[in-house]
């Protein structure tokens, strides 16, 4: 199946081009930091395997120093995945050594850089932060491992200090600079400005990490790409600290469908992946969740359903189909249902209704839906049988 769908011309037809876009998945690390969420050893292995099979570029498997069980899980994932596995570490010697010992191909070291976090969380000075950041980067590079450095809370950090610490770790040899919008305060335009500023002061590749406190995480990740970042950190279903992270499925499908960028990821397994993570994290996916929610490709309104029956592009994006993400389209029966949808569903069940019969079934469906009752196929068939709608001869013979 072709993964490219022609984009319809319109007022948003001139989407900016993106030269490179890699996906760094942090479901098993930041995603697991969702309140009241914990992945077992087996959960981590299972989720990592699917992410790897799909072609995810980097999997942040966890925080190796956190516990013996976490260390073993990270080591196991590093051994059994073909892509890059990453381990997180504070700018603390024990953290860095644990990450290196776990066998990951990338170590992600971080330190707070905003004054509020330095003073009231780390109880450290700016000078301490720079010194420890440089030492940690140098240790990772000395070990021959790829290094990513994060100035935590970058979007609330004074620009002059952000530049200072980025230049220092760049001189120490870090491969990546991650720009975290730790408290989700960036907007697409302001976050893009931060990315450009960082790019002006480093030769390292730039990665972005957006939080969703104002519902802007995925938009900020994409604005990061537009501004020149080459990688974004995401989590499946957008799970993570507080309101969560940029959502894997949203960022990947926006890149594929809106920017026409081939990520190399097998998008047909996105729905499968989403359901796996929802089950293992015990965090249900809202019905209206983009891409993977139950309503993402569902239609009830008469006008919308009629249009979709004629041509699905009428009331769906067109450039993203349910087949592209391993989902199916659904025509939902309820208060807003029209005759086109009712006829379609009756025909699917083998009935051959007249126009009058379709109108009568539609009336009953609307009445039942107005009472907030679910209209299942069984209920629809009962309406049809009560009215006496005949089945097609082929169905009767069967």
pLDDT beyond 60 at 22: yes
Give a yes or no: residue 398 inside a domain.
no
pLDDT at residue number 7: 61
pLDDT at residue number 309: 60
The whole-angstrom separation of Cα 105 and Cα 85 is 6
pLDDT at residue number 4: 57
Decide if 204 contacts 170 (C-beta within 8 A). yes
Least-confidence region, from 171-175, 220-224, 261-265, 329-333: 329-333
pLDDT at residue number 215: 98
pLDDT beyond 90 at 54: yes
Give a yes or no: residue 7 inside a domain.
no
pLDDT at residue number 3: 52
**CA dihedral in degrees (253, 257, 258, 261; nearest 10)?**
90
pLDDT in tens, 56-76: 999 999 999 999 999 999 999
CATH number of the domain residue 40 falls in: 3.20.20.70
pLDDT beyond 90 at 251: yes
Examine the domain organization and report whether 329 and 232 are in the same domain.
no
pLDDT at residue number 316: 82
pLDDT: which is higher, 221 or 332? 221
Confidence of residue 169 (pLDDT cuts 50, 70, 90): very high
pLDDT beyond 70 at 394: no
Decide if 329 contacts 308 (C-beta within 8 A). yes
pLDDT: which is higher, 310 or 49? 49
Average pLDDT over residues 303-314: 67
Give a yes or no: residue 97 inside a domain.
yes
Examine the domain organization and report whether 328 and 239 are in the same domain.
no
322: helix, strand or coil: helix
Domain count, the chain: 2
Among 231, 251, 281, the domain boundary falls at: 281
Examine the domain organization and report whether 382 and 345 are in the same domain.
yes
202: helix, strand or coil: coil
Among 255, 281, 307, the domain boundary falls at: 281
- Cα atoms found within 13 Å of the Cα of residue 47, Cβ hemisphere only: 31
115: helix, strand or coil: helix
Q: Is 357 left (phi over 0), alpha (psi -120 to 50) or beta?
A: alpha
Percent of the chain exceeding pLDDT 90 equals: 74
Examine the domain organization and report whether 189 and 70 are in the same domain.
yes
pLDDT in tens, 129-155: 999 999 999 999 999 999 999 999 999
Among 281, 308, 343, the domain boundary falls at: 281
pLDDT at residue number 380: 83
Q: Which tokens go with 341? A: 């949808």
Q: What is the DSSP string of 331-393?
A: E--STT--HHHHHHHHHHTTB---HHHHHHHHHHHHHHHHTT----HHHHHHHHHHHTPPBPH
Give a yes or no: residue 1 inside a domain.
no
Q: What is the DSSP string of 42-83?
A: HHHHHHHHHHHHHT-SEEEEE-GGG-HHHHHHHHHHHHH-SS
Examine the domain organization and report whether 67 and 143 are in the same domain.
yes
Beta strand pairing call for 22-25 and 146-152: unpaired
Give a yes or no: residue 289 inside a domain.
no
pLDDT in tens, 177-204: 999 999 999 999 999 999 999 999 999 9
Average pLDDT over residues 325-335: 83
Average pLDDT over residues 102-122: 97
Residues in CB range of 136: below 8 A, 6 or more apart: 89, 91, 92, 96, 109, 111, 149
pLDDT at residue number 301: 65
pLDDT at residue number 303: 57
Give a yes or no: residue 264 inside a domain.
yes
Q: What are phi and psi of 112, to 5 degrees?
A: -65, 140
Beta strand pairing call for 58-62 and 84-90: parallel
Residues in CB range of 161: below 8 A, 6 or more apart: 113, 126
Examine the domain organization and report whether 212 and 326 are in the same domain.
no
Instruction: Name residue, tokens 């730039």.
Output: 206
Examine the domain organization and report whether 256 and 350 are in the same domain.
no
The whole-angstrom separation of Cα 252 and Cα 51 is 13
Query: What is the reported pTM?
Result: 0.88
pLDDT beyond 90 at 335: no
pLDDT at residue number 192: 98
Q: Which tokens go with 142? A: 């000395």
pLDDT at residue number 213: 98
Examine the domain organization and report whether 27 and 147 are in the same domain.
yes
pLDDT beyond 70 at 113: yes
Give residue 312's domain range.
298-387
Examine the domain organization and report whether 274 and 333 are in the same domain.
no
pLDDT: which is higher, 57 or 334? 57
Examine the domain organization and report whether 329 and 266 are in the same domain.
no
pLDDT beyond 60 at 302: no
The whole-angstrom separation of Cα 225 and Cα 251 is 10
Give a yes or no: residue 3 inside a domain.
no
Residues in CB range of 272: below 8 A, 6 or more apart: 50, 326
Residues in CB range of 188: below 8 A, 6 or more apart: 216, 219, 220, 222, 223
CB-count burial class (<10 Å; 0-12, 13-18, 19+) for 367: exposed
Percent of the chain exceeding pLDDT 70 equals: 93
Examine the domain organization and report whether 263 and 318 are in the same domain.
no
**CA dihedral in degrees (97, 93, 118, 202; nearest 10)?**
-70
Mean pLDDT of the chain: 92
The whole-angstrom separation of Cα 392 and Cα 350 is 6
Examine the domain organization and report whether 335 and 366 are in the same domain.
yes
| Residue from 228, 205, 210, 251 nearest 56 by CA | 251
**Host H or E run for residue 191:** helix 188-199
Give a yes or no: residue 58 inside a domain.
yes
Report the sign of the C-alpha dihedral through residues 302, 306, 309, 312, in that order. negative
- Cα atoms found within 13 Å of the Cα of residue 361, Cβ hemisphere only: 32
CATH number of the domain residue 333 falls in: 1.10.238
């Amino acid at each position: 199946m072709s993964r490219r769908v022609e984009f319809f011309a319109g007022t948003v037809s001139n989407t900016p081009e993106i030269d490179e876009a890699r996906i760094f998945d942090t479901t098993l690390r930041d995603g697991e930091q969702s309140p009241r969420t914990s992945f077992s050893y087996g959960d981590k292995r299972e989720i990592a395997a699917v992410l790897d099979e799909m072609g995810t570029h980097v999997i942040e498997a966890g925080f190796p120093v956190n516990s013996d069980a976490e260390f073993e899980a990270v080591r196991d994932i590093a051994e059994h995945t073909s892509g890059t596995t990453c381990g997180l570490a504070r700018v603390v010697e024990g953290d860095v050594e644990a990450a290196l010992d776990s066998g990951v191909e990338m170590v992600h070291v971080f330190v707070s850089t905003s004054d509020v976090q330095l003073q009231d969380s780390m109880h450290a000075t700016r000078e301490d932060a720079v010194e420890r950041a440089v030492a940690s980067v140098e240790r990772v590079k000395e070990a021959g491992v790829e290094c990513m450095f994060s100035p935590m809370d970058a979007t609330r950090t004074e620009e002059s200090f952000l530049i200072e610490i980025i230049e220092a770790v760049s001189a120490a040899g870090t491969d990546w600079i991650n720009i975290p919008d730790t408290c989700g305060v960036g907007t697409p335009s302001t976050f893009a400005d931060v990315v450009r500023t960082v790019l002006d002061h480093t030769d390292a590749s730039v990665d972005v990490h957006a939080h969703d406190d104002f519902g802007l995480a995925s938009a900020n990740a994409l604005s990061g790409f537009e501004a020149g970042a080459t990688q974004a950190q995401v989590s499946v279903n957008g799970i993570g600290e507080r309101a969560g992270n940029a959502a894997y499925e949203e960022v990947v499908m926006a890149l594929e469908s809106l920017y026409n960028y081939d990520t190399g990821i097998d998008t047909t397994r996105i729905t499968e992946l989403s359901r796996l993570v929802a089950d293992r994290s015990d965090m249900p996916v809202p019905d209206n969740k983009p891409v993977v929610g139950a309503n993402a490709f569902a239609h009830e309104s008469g006008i919308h359903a009629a249009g979709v029956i004629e041509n699905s592009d009428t009331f769906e994006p067109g450039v993203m189909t349910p087949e592209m993400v391993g989902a199916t389209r659904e025509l939902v029966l309820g208060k807003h249902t029209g005759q086109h949808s009712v006829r379609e569903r009756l025909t699917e069940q083998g009935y051959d209704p007249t126009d009058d019969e379709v109108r009568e079934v539609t009336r009953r469906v609307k009445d039942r839906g107005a009472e907030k009752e679910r209209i299942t196929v069984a209920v629809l068939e009962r309406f049809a049988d009560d009215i006496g709608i005949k089945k097609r001869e082929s169905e009767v013979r069967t």
